[in-house]
Structures are given as C-alpha cells and as structure tokens.
Structure 1
Amino acid sequence: MPKISSLSSARRLPFVLALGLATAVTAPMTPGLISAAHAQSNAGDAAFVQSLAQRMIAVVNGPGSAAEKKAQIQPLLDQDVDVDAIARFCLGRFWRTATPEQQAQYTALFHQVLTNSIDDKLGEYRGVGITVGQATQQDGKTYVATVISRPNQPTANVQWVISHATGQPRIVDVVAEGVSLSLTQRSDYASFLAHNGNDVGRLIAALKRQVSRE
C-alpha cells in the first residue's frame, strides 16, 4: 500500500487555518468597481475574518493550560468554520457512496483531526500577523485576501473563502499562495481511496489511527 499522503497533507488546512487566525491588523479595503451591496457584503466578510482572528489571538496569548485553550478554541471552530461542509467536499464523490454510519464517523474524525492539528500548533504563533485586504465575490462566495507574516519568515498570501450557505458567514476553504487546501485534501483522499479499493472504511480506519497517535 502506498504512503498515505492524504493523512500527512490533512495537516495543511489546519496549519494555515491556525496560522491565519493567530492575529489580525486591518488594512484599507479597496472594493473597486463593484455594487454597493457587494461592497457592503465584502466589508462584512473581511470584518468577520478580522473578528475571528482577534478571538483566536485572545486564546493563543491568554493564560491557561493546553487543555483549557483547546476547550476555548472548539466553540470558535464550531461557530465560524463550516467543518461539516469542508469534510463533505474533501471526501468528494465518495460521500455519496458512504453509508450514513460511515458519513457520521468520517465527519467526526475530520473534526477531531482539524481540532487536534490547530491545538498542536497554538504555541508556535505568538508574534504572527495578518493584514486583511481586498474582498471579492466569486461563484457565490467571498474571497478575503490577507497577507500573513511571521517573525524571521517570508510573508504568505492567503485567501479566506467565506460562504453564507448556513445563513451566516463561515469559512469553507483556505487558498494559500494560489492553492486551494480543500481541493488538495480532496485530491489526496481520492488518491488514497483509489489505492485502497475505493473503500471509505479504510480511510476511516486510517484517520482513526492518525487521531490515536496525536
């Protein structure tokens, strides 16, 4: 069986998510030639990204043990990141072939992998900054451009993809240096499944092993 690249790259989305949410500094918005309604929506979504970042920094730099900080982070993820939608997207066509029990198991494991990966990185983000820039509309979603900086590291261009499908703004993807992390994860899962008989149960078993090691 080939190396499970899907499970190592599964850390990419949480890594950038935690990196981007460490702290925020707002830059002037430049909406350009867009409608007033879109400009208002874009500004609101940019403010949403900034607000989430500020709440995360309060956890990162605040007092408390790792377990206490994990307990504080979980509500932020549940409220502001559409983890269920990301999980379904990453599984792709295999979501439709999975049984309801497999769907529930996979989604729960995806949540746990995401949370654990962010929790494991929290201590590394002191001093990280994010400048929120222009927000644009594409395919019914808002793309909020940011520039992430870290001490002694090159800056990174990251877009936060915001959906209002649930009736409120929620993060559904992160595009780092032009690469969609959800698309990358979806491709990795598809590759793993292709080498494992397209058996969702084997992916679930691999995710369980990953979680047990974290």
Structure 2
Amino acid sequence: MNRITITAMALAGLALCALPAAADAKTEAYVQANASEALATLNDPSLTASQRTSTFSTYMDRFTDLDAVSNFVIGKYSRRFTPAELAAYRTAFRTYALAVYEAQLDDYRGKAVVVKDSVDRSETDSIVNTVIERQDGKNMDVRWRVLTRDGKYQVVDVALNLDGNLIWLGIEQRAQFIALLDRANGSAEALISKIESMTAELKASKRT
C-alpha cells in the first residue's frame, strides 16, 4: 500500500452530486477554525517533534469522530469482533488514523484553511470545500464531511485532491480493511497487526 492508498481517517461520504443548498455559516466556521488551528501546530517552533505530534493529534482527535470512522472502515466486522477485539482494534486504528492525518497534511504545516463553499447533504450532514494555500502555488483542495449531532459538529471523513484525483480517505480505507479481513477470515489480530505495521512505516518516514 502506498502513502495515498493507506490514508485514513475519517466515515465515508458518497461522491458528490450537484447539490443546491449551502451549508450553514457555523459549519464552515467550525472547519476553518479547527483545521487551521491543527495545521498551525505542525509549524510551531516552540514544540519539539514529539510535542508537535501530540498537540496535533489532540486537535484532530477532537475535530474528528474516530470511533465512527473506525466502525465504518471495517463494515460488518464491527459487529463480529468481540468487545475486547473491537477495543484493541479501535486503539490501533486511532493511532494509525492520527498518523495518517499528520503525514498527509504535514506538507501544508502552518498554512490557513480557506473555505471556498459548502453544500448540505441533509439537515445534519454537510460537505465543506476548502483550499490550503502554499507559497509555491501547489495548493491542495480538501473537502470535509461534517455531521451535526445534538448541536455538536464533528468531521467524519476527509477528501484530498491528489494528482487530480479526489480521494475520500474513509472510503479508501474501508475497501482495503474489509478486503484484508475477508482474506483473513475476519481475524481482528491480522487486521491489528497490519494497522500497527502501517503506523510504524508512517512514523519512520515522518519529517523531523
């Protein structure tokens, strides 16, 4: 699996069709403020590398609903794992997902997220389209799927425009994880081992 195809992090949205309704301003402001703050931690000169990762992970863990993401990406197997297996898997997945976010966004460290527009999929489900600008002109388009529950906003999937292809991280991970589980007869141990291996690879290649 390459760096693009192992990315993760978030409950999948379907590919967008033309949707006329604009998401509310509060949803857009939530994405702009929280995503920008998370990116800013990657360029904080007062932090060591380990402190930077810890601070970034804290922001992203609060910003995204990783329990929902972890359930989505294993599909039917979330109901087949024992409680102990599910807890161990979620712990491994959370560490991996946060490492993925840091790896994918690290090239844009310190840059602000600018909201372009947004659409509503339903009253509680919105897509916020943003761009992260770089001085070299190689800007990245990022879409954030946001769910609202009891007045609380949380991101449940992220789409990156990589080399002209829009890739929803949650959808990509779901296809890979379910395929692995199918081959391994639903073994939680096999999945956790693979996730821990991918996490180690991400951490080994991380910018210092």
TM-score per shorter chain, which class? 0.7 to 0.9
Q: Which runs of 5 or more residues in structure 1 are unaligned?
A: 15-31
One-letter amino acid matched to 2:76: R
Pick closer, same or farther for the CA change 1:58–1:184 going to 2, 3 Å. closer
Pick closer, same or farther for the CA change 1:183–1:45 going to 2, 3 Å. same
With the length of structure 1 as denominator, give the TM-score of the two structures: 0.74
Matched residue SS, 2:186: coil
Say how many residue pairs are matched.
Answer: 187
Pick closer, same or farther for the CA change 1:6–1:201 going to 2, 3 Å. farther
- 8 Å Cα contact 1:74/1:115 also seen in 2: yes
Alpha-carbon distance between aligned partners in 1 of 2:176 and 2:190, rounded to the nearest angstrom: 14
1:91 to 68, 74, 81: 74
One-letter amino acid matched to 2:38: M
2:121 to 129, 138, 141: 138
**What is the CA RMSD across the aligned residues, in angstroms?**
2.8
1:171 to 146, 150, 155: 155
One-letter amino acid matched to 1:184: E
One-letter amino acid matched to 2:30: F
Q: How far off is 1:72 after superposition?
A: 1.6
Q: Which runs of 5 or more residues in structure 2 are unaligned?
A: 10-18, 204-208
Deviations 1:159-205 (A, max 9, x none): 11001136410000112344322111101111112222232221112
With the length of structure 2 as denominator, give the TM-score of the two structures: 0.76
Pick closer, same or farther for the CA change 1:189–1:166 going to 2, 3 Å. farther
Q: Which residue of 1 aligns with 2:186?
A: 198
Determine which structure has the larger helix proportion and give its number. Answer: 1
Max radius of gyration: which structure? 1
Indicate yes or no: 2:42 matched with 1:60.
Answer: yes
1:208 to 184, 191, 196: 196
Deviates more, 1:157-166 or 1:106-115: 157-166
- 8 Å Cα contact 1:82/1:172 also seen in 2: yes
Indicate yes or no: 2:169 matched with 1:181.
Answer: yes
Alpha-carbon distance between aligned partners in 2 of 1:175 and 1:96, rounded to the nearest angstrom: 26
Indicate yes or no: 2:70 matched with 1:75.
Answer: no
Q: How far off is 1:143 after superposition?
A: 0.4
Q: How far off is 1:64 after superposition?
A: 1.3
Alpha-carbon distance between aligned partners in 1 of 2:167 and 2:51, rounded to the nearest angstrom: 33
2:5 to 6, 9, 14: 9
Alpha-carbon distance between aligned partners in 1 of 2:139 and 2:119, rounded to the nearest angstrom: 21
Which 4+ stretches in 1 moved above 6 angstroms? none
Alpha-carbon distance between aligned partners in 1 of 2:98 and 2:27, rounded to the nearest angstrom: 23
Q: Which residue of 1 aligns with 2:16?
A: none
Matched residue SS, 1:164: strand
- 8 Å Cα contact 2:65/2:154 also seen in 1: yes
Deviates more, 1:81-90 or 1:150-159: 150-159
The percentage of aligned residue pairs carrying the same residue is: 23
Matched residue SS, 1:144: strand
